[in-house]
Structure 1
Amino acid sequence: MKLIFVAVSLLTVMSSTIAQTPDTTLVSAPTQAATQVMPNSGLALSGYVEAYYSHDFTAPKTAQERSGFTYNHRRNREVNINLAFAKLAYTSERVRGNLALQVGTYAQYNYAAEQELVKNIFEANAGVKLSKTKDLWLDAGIFASHIGFESAISKDCWTLSRSILAENSPYYLSGVKLTYTSANGKWTVLGMATNGWQHIKKVDGYGGMSFTSQVQYRPSDKLTLNWSSFLGSDLPDSLKQTRFFNNFYAIINPQGRFGVILGFDVGTEQKPFVRLAGERIAGYYTWYSPVVIARYKTSDKSYVNGRVEYYDDKNAVIIGIPGFQTTGYSLGYDYAILPNALFRVEGKVYSSQTPIFESSNGLSRTNTSLTTSLAISF
């Protein structure tokens, strides 16, 4: 509760004092974030609030939660806050640090397994530049994940809701990372030792560290190519189940009238440690997910966007639903009411090969929903 009180207090102070500066996020919607830089201090305050209403037409009217494999906009048929945070950032030539405190249903569901003290931490890290001439940084703490092209901050994503692959790969990571950016800004290379697959607190019985990487190439402002990976485990050491995961994406013409994102996730995990006649049963489970997102700029203030995706996790490694093989379709419209206020509406349909969605008549193979949101950055 103390963390929540501090976050709300920071938001209250910031809303009355900050000025607007352009949002430089590569894949951001047509909005502007705002930041107040304190004179001669290197400190900057910023904040974000996203309110939403999601209506699941398939689920029973009394169902208060949507599908369990989603973590954003999960409350059903009620107005709620998906994510709100206040962020304090410090930057100098050789030192940087960030602290962001959060509230909302995103934090409620996605941080459910974490210790109470850290559930309201969206970001908390410190870094030092290791070279006077090279852009080489060593940072430690809790970070927004570098894996994937979507984040929990809806305004920075091309669609209102997250793709299935984003909802089921790390949104945050904790550990130590080394990041290098080339002098021309075209290459970014990152390596990180983490506490596991989206964990601040390690899984009980897991004694080692996991490792992630990122290689990103931006030959121009019209193309970004990215490969991120994870190597480690999300289970106790006794099960001996190593996980290897890869995330690939290309962002094409992000600032143009028409843009496209092509994404693909694929992962493998060793089968449970079982011995038969003195020998270990070998083999791996595999899951994968392709996604295509396109958007078209209809005016200086608006976009339309569409998405087609597929997620195959029939062995229930990530999602936990046996036989999960689901296709998703979405169509959305975004309108920037003000430079820092974005209204969005999106319709989404899921189609599964097996009945997995709760409905008034039992389980259904399809699910239909409509979500609206209002996001304010300041």
Structure 2
Amino acid sequence: MILFLSIENRLIAQHKDSFAVQLFTEVYASSVPNQPFNKLRPAFQYNYTKANNAGVNMSLARVHFSTQRFRTNFGLMAGDYATANLAAEEPWARAVFEANVGIKLSNKKELWLDAGLMPSHIGFESAIGRDNWAATRSIVADNSPYYETGLRFSFQPNAKWYMAALALTGWQRITFAQEKKHPSFGTQITFKPSSKFSINHSSFAGKAPYSFASVNRYYSNLHTTIQLHKNLAMFICWDIGIEYKPNAFRKNATWNAWNAQVQYKPSGSKWQFNARYERFIDRNTILFELPEQIYHQFNVHHTSINIDRLLGKGFLLRAEANYQSSPYPIFRKDTRLTYRQFSAFLITSYNFQYSKKR
């Protein structure tokens, strides 16, 4: 488990100064029997993007410092994730994982104001592969924000509740798009009554990331984690997005995603297992430009099974079998299109942690 002390953790602040360093790298090899001619996985996947090849998904260097009233995080990265997911950003920004500072606004209450580039408040999955139950990302995770830039006002009255309101530069944007300077907004509420159950709702309201500014996007993410047994846990989420076009003939377009995962960790073992099922429906292809078949809708079933093995201090080896299918031909097979795609992955990562408190 990643122990890096960052604002993502949303823990009650420590009264001691703390300093932490994280060095993380993740490499992978993939096998795709469809043999896509461009040697790439589908364009709606922004991690582990190479097909029938090996690559570095992420190399990350990250530092954290905090006192009782101040905290800051900074991280630099490289790899397939940065190349694919930050392609729309300015070249200088594509290597920045996070850069933020926070100030505590109250002596007695956990009331914070954070500013800068931060991990997204939306979703269960992280850009850091090691933090996630499944070895590869869900479609819904790859197509909702991994990061955001702006201001976050957060309040944690106790260990059970966490609340935040955000003013952002846009839908996963480091800087404002040149053609529009309107802020976007977000909210988050997390309730964790015990170590065995938590539920979270996150929302976004703002302009869609297009070249025209008249499209409004509204997004909701609801997810829960349940500890069914000391060795068995379940995660369930539902995402829905709506775009409203005031001057269009069809004013509203909606997409939905459902995602469920089950994780099993035997007691005292270095092995862990995860199974996932996901359904993603985007009838108006709002999020995706389908290859050559622009009149099809995006409608995908996604299943995967992964087996993980802890190899030693900091090392993790993961193997995953991944299957996607659609009623429409949206996957590449050689130079043609087909209805399904199987992929296999072997992923290994190393994570170095150093932290000090005084």
- TM-score calculated relative to the size of structure 2: 0.89
Q: Which residue of 2 aligns with 1:169?
A: 144
Select between 68-77 and 263-272 the one with higher mean Cα deviation: 263-272
How does 1:1-378 map onto structure 2 within 5 Å?
A: 23-24=2-3, 42-60=18-36, 62-183=37-158, 185-235=159-209, 239-253=213-227, 256-271=230-245, 273-274=247-248, 281=249, 283-298=251-266, 300-321=269-290, 322-360=296-334, 362-378=336-352
CA 246–41 in structure 1, closer or farther in 2 if over 3 Å, else same = closer
Quote the RMSD (CA, aligned, Å).
Answer: 1.8
Superposed structure 1 runs of 4+ greater than 3 Å apart: 22-25, 235-239
CA 172–70 in structure 1, closer or farther in 2 if over 3 Å, else same = same
Unaligned runs of 5+ in 2: 5-15, 291-295, 353-358
Q: Which residue of 2 aligns with 1:37?
A: none
CA 357–236 in structure 1, closer or farther in 2 if over 3 Å, else same = closer
Report deviation, 1:77: 2.0
Report deviation, 1:102: 0.3
Matched letter for residue 29 of structure 2: Y
> 1:241–1:273: 8 Å Cα contact kept in structure 2?
no
Determine the C-alpha separation between the residues in 1 that align with 2:2 and 2:246. Answer: 46
Select between 200-209 and 307-316 the one with higher mean Cα deviation: 200-209
Matched letter for residue 359 of structure 1: K
Q: Which residue of 2 aligns with 1:18?
A: none
Q: Deviations over 1:255-277 (max 9, x none)?
A: 83011000110011013624xxx
Determine the C-alpha separation between the residues in 2 that align with 1:132 and 1:237. Answer: 44
Determine the C-alpha separation between the residues in 2 that align with 1:188 and 1:265. Answer: 20
Determine the C-alpha separation between the residues in 1 that align with 2:3 and 2:76. Answer: 22
Determine the C-alpha separation between the residues in 1 that align with 2:334 and 2:2. Answer: 43
Over the matched positions of the two proteins, sequence identity in percent amounts to 33
Unaligned runs of 5+ in 1: 1-21, 26-39, 275-280
Determine the C-alpha separation between the residues in 2 that align with 1:67 and 1:163. Answer: 13
Q: Deviations over 1:80-130 (max 9, x none)?
A: 110111111111000000110001110000011111111100010011000
* SS state at 1:253 partner: strand
